[in-house]
Amino acid sequence: MDSTALLDTQPPPLSRPLHERLLIRATGLFLLAATVLLGCRLLGTDAVTPVPQLLAFLPWLLVPAGAALLFAALLRWRAGVVWTLVLLAVTGWFLRPYETQAADARATGTGTRIDVLTSNVEFGQGTLGLIEVIRREKPDLVFVQECEFVCARLLDERIPAADYPYRHIVRASSAEGSSILSTFPLTGTERIKGVLAMPRSQARVDGRAIELQLVHPLPPIPGMVQDWRDELGRIRAYAAGRGDTPVIMAGDFNATRDHAAFRAVLDDGGLRDGALLGGAGRTPSWPSAVPRPLGAQIDHVLVSEDFAVRDARFLDLADTDHRALLVGLELRG
């Protein structure tokens, strides 16, 4: 039978069995909530709880929306079928890369190679796993979030000063501590104001100054959304006002490309997403306990146009709920 004809023969709503009416109502409520979420994404606003939390997992809207389409079709609910198809199309549109992989963003092998590693070690618990990765991968720059006192001590004891002679470590308890390790000379001890430490240093690479900014704003949990928005606003203000100095911003941004506050950092700072340009644009970084491709990508390495991107990899670490991100960069000559 023709599907259009099948839909046209649907009985009036009041003549449906009770279980069908309840299922249509439940499906309709989901579609309404999904419409609000996608409307916020379309309008470029993170709104209020629960929108910021749900936007982090926007790609996974495809799964319940697919189930809603199946229910609507089985129930011969034509309006629901059309409604769901529109939501699926809009969600698919947002899954496109936020920025294109332009030719000038690809490495040519003529610039200075810089490998950048960022890792949230979850209150220091993943420090030993991070040390193993540092020894194996030998990155030039390491950004560590939630590096509390024990983490800082282990980095001092087990990462030789000969390998990373330059360090900017903020020693603090719990999630507040942060560390930058560098093979390049570092100067400066500034930071972006935040509850969690976000230190900044300037590195000298082949005689050029490069700004290194560790990023770790508060998460957008209920009751703290405005604080999250304010701290991302300070990060955006720094990115927008940094001038012409090359910059690498790395860390746990507690935001994805589906958050308007994060896109503002990219747009106003003229920054590029290293994971996206390195071929790992939708690889999740949190929570690491769920299997890929589930989760959200909230750990990032953002760079100015002074850098080309060679590659990007997310690495599993023991005893932390974040995957580490390793990005290969090339500083243009």
**228, 244 Cβ separation under 8 angstroms:** no
Residue 7 pLDDT class (50, 70, 90 cuts): very low
Sign of the four-CA dihedral 98, 270, 265, 209: positive
Residue 1 pLDDT class (50, 70, 90 cuts): very low
Q: What is the mean pLDDT of residues 117-142?
A: 98
Q: What percent of the chain has a predicted confidence (pLDDT) above 90? A: 85
- The per-residue pLDDT for range 167-216, each reduced to its tens digit, is 999 999 999 999 999 999 999 888 999 999 999 999 999 999 999 999 99
State both tokens at 332: 């243009």
pLDDT greater than 90 at residue 298: yes
Q: What is the pLDDT, as a whole number, of residue 281?
A: 87
**151, 185 Cβ separation under 8 angstroms:** no
Average pLDDT, rounded, for the chain: 92
Q: Please give the order of strands across the beta sheet that includes 324-331.
A: 166-170, 178-182, 141-145, 112-120, 324-331, 307-315
State both tokens at 27: 């499906």
Per-domain residue ranges of the chain: 3-94, 108-331
**210, 248 Cβ separation under 8 angstroms:** yes
Q: What is the pLDDT, as a whole number, of residue 16?
A: 85
**pTM here?**
0.91
State both tokens at 136: 């194996």
Q: What is the mean pLDDT of residues 65-84?
A: 95
State both tokens at 178: 């942060």
* ω into 199 cis (within 30 of 0): no
Residue 224 amino acid letter = M
The fold adopted by the segment(s) 108-331 is Deoxyribonuclease I; Chain A (3.60.10)
pLDDT greater than 90 at residue 318: yes
pLDDT greater than 80 at residue 12: no
- The per-residue pLDDT for range 25-43, each reduced to its tens digit, is 999 999 999 999 999 999 9
pLDDT greater than 50 at residue 297: yes
Q: What is the pLDDT, as a whole number, of residue 43?
A: 97
**180, 167 Cβ separation under 8 angstroms:** yes
Distance separating alpha carbons of residues 104 and 297, to the nearest angstrom: 24
